[in-house]
Amino acid sequence: MCAGAGGDVTAHGVRILEGRWSDAFLGRYPVRPGYAYVIWKGRHVTEPGELDDEETAGFWGEVARVADAVQARYRPTKMNWLHLGNGVPHLHVHLVPRPVDDPRAGGPLEPESFDQAATTPVPEAELEAEATALRAALGPPT
Ligand SMILES: [Zn+2]
């Protein structure tokens, strides 16, 4: 991921924000409807604690902007922000809106929730339409 997120449309998602500190994508393989992820785009960093104060404020500020946009559009009962990085050790945050009818409401996500092979991808036209709506909600880069 250090080399860049790979453009506006990748195998994993469609970009919804090209921020100063991060790139955010709507996920092609949704953990839940509206699933998005935000990738730190500076130098190689694994853990949030490696960021300096300015970077910390900038990165988490952009994560919060994206989370707010997802929350406004999908109206979840709860937003989950996950910093994991076990499989891809470059700083990124998963934003998972937990819907009203969440099969595991009140608890953690099921272990297989990030298994793309077990997840039905969002149809391309729907993914693009949702990404367009989220981009509009996010507004221009700040
Ligand atoms: Zn990296």
Residue 142 pLDDT class (50, 70, 90 cuts): low
**Residue predicted with more confidence, 139 or 127:** 127
What is the whole-number distance in angstroms between the Cα of residue 105 and the centre of ligand 1?
33
Residue 1 confidence (pLDDT) above 80: no
CA-closest candidate to residue 8, choices 26, 32, 33 = 26
What is the whole-number distance in angstroms between the Cα of residue 90 and the centre of ligand 1?
4
Mean residue pLDDT of the chain comes to 93
Mean pLDDT confidence for 98-124: 94
Residue 20 pLDDT class (50, 70, 90 cuts): very high
What is the whole-number distance in angstroms between the Cα of residue 99 and the centre of ligand 1?
31
Residue 141 confidence (pLDDT) above 90: no
What is the whole-number distance in angstroms between the Cα of residue 25 and the centre of ligand 1?
17
What is the whole-number distance in angstroms between the Cα of residue 15 and the centre of ligand 1?
18
Burial label for 123, CB within 10 Å (0-12, 13-18, 19+), is: exposed
State the Cα–Cα distance between residues 40 and 19, nearest whole angstrom.
9
Residue 63 confidence (pLDDT) above 70: yes
What is the whole-number distance in angstroms between the Cα of residue 44 and the centre of ligand 1?
4
Output the pTM of the full model.
Answer: 0.94
pLDDT for the residue 6:
65
Cβ neighbour number for residue 31 with a 10 Å cutoff: 23
pLDDT for the residue 73:
97
What is the whole-number distance in angstroms between the Cα of residue 49 and the centre of ligand 1?
14
What is the whole-number distance in angstroms between the Cα of residue 4 and the centre of ligand 1?
9
Residue that the structure tokens 């996010």 belong to: 138
What is the whole-number distance in angstroms between the Cα of residue 42 and the centre of ligand 1?
8
What is the whole-number distance in angstroms between the Cα of residue 43 and the centre of ligand 1?
7
CA dihedral in degrees (19, 23, 28, 30; nearest 10)? -90
For the segment 67-79, what is each residue's pLDDT rounded down to a tens digit? 999 999 999 999 9
Residue 5 pLDDT class (50, 70, 90 cuts): low
State the Cα–Cα distance between residues 77 and 87, nearest whole angstrom.
28
